[in-house]
Chains A and B, each alone.
Chain A
Amino acid sequence: MKGSTIIFYLLSAIALISALLSVYHTENIQGCYLPVVFIGWNCRKFISGCNMNLLPLCRLLLYVGGITVLIIFSIFLTQQAGELLPVQNKGRFVFAGLAAMLGFILMLTLLFSLTFTGTSAEPLPPTVENVGKQMLGIHEGGYALPFEVVSVLLLAAMVGCIVIAMRSKSDPA
């Protein structure tokens, strides 16, 4: 087994443990684990040689710089530091565990029962030219329209956030 493969599986395990901690930790600072999860995934993508250097950069910018900061802000604005989260309902815990495990088994069964035939074509190098041509292409296989739709969606989300979070005049200060 190659060194890069060992590192790949090691980082995957770290990412999974971080994901568990970020969701199940009982202290409300659990959001601080989130960067570890995403950085773990980013490293894993780099090391596994996924041939897509654009994605880890996007994730690093958006998750570490944006979403994680938003989540940590929301934790500090809505809860007392050091306060513990309420104990979980046991019935719900069992039901959710069963539902998640059944879904997981179904996905694995499907994955291992199917055979995938990939292409043996040469990998497309993810250079700026190739990515730009396909991302902003208006011909077949181009992604110009979804790109524009996503930009409108982000603008709408930004305006929506401001409107929702604005304090109304009747609210107490």
Chain B
Amino acid sequence: MEPGTHSTAYCKYGPFLIGVFGFFTRRNLVTMLMSIELILNSVNLNFVAFNKYLWPDKLDGAFFTVFIIAIAAAEAAVAIAIILNLYRSHHSIDVDRQKK
């Protein structure tokens, strides 16, 4: 079966499923951040796949993907700064162990 919009569904939505599940179950901030990265990457795959299989004469999907990658980079940098600051003040990055 040649790859297409429907046959590639499991590899587009699989990382989204894993990311959502990881975000809800894990309490470690770094793992939660990685789950968000997985979700964003799944969205990127969707943009690329739909652009390639439905509108190959345009590059809009690719540009949206580039912007999402840039926003993911900014988000990761800010999140890691917050995690480091939190670890410095609370000596833990586990969400359940945080107290005021």
Contacts from A to B (Cβ < 8 Å): 1-2, 5, 8-9, 12, 15-16, 19-20, 22-24, 28, 30-31, 34, 37-38, 41, 44-45, 48, 50-52, 54-55, 58-59, 62-63, 66-67, 70-71, 73-75, 77-79, 85-86, 88-89, 92-93, 95-97, 99-101, 103-104, 107-108, 111-112, 116-119, 121-124, 126, 130-131, 134-135, 141, 143, 146, 150, 153-154, 156-158, 160-162, 164-165, 167, 171
Contacts and interface: CB of A to CB of B under 8 A. Distances in A.
A164 B70 contact: no
5 contacts: A5-B3, A41-B41, A63-B69, A86-B27, A111-B6
Contact of A165 (B69, B81, B93): B81
Contact of A16 (B6, B18, B51, B94): B18
A48 B49 CA distance: 10
Interface of B: 1-3, 5-6, 8-11, 13-22, 24-28, 30-31, 33-35, 37-38, 41, 45, 48-60, 62-63, 65-67, 69-78, 80-85, 87-89, 93-94, 96
Given A104-B17, A119-B54, A164-B85, A134 B63 contact: yes
A92 B25 contact: yes
A52 B34 contact: no
A126 B59 contact: yes
B57 A92 contact: no
Closest 5 pairs between A and B when the two form their complex, measured CB to CB: A96-B24, A157-B74, A118-B54, A23-B22, A123-B56
A119 B80 contact: no
A16 B16 CA distance: 10
A154 B85 CA distance: 20
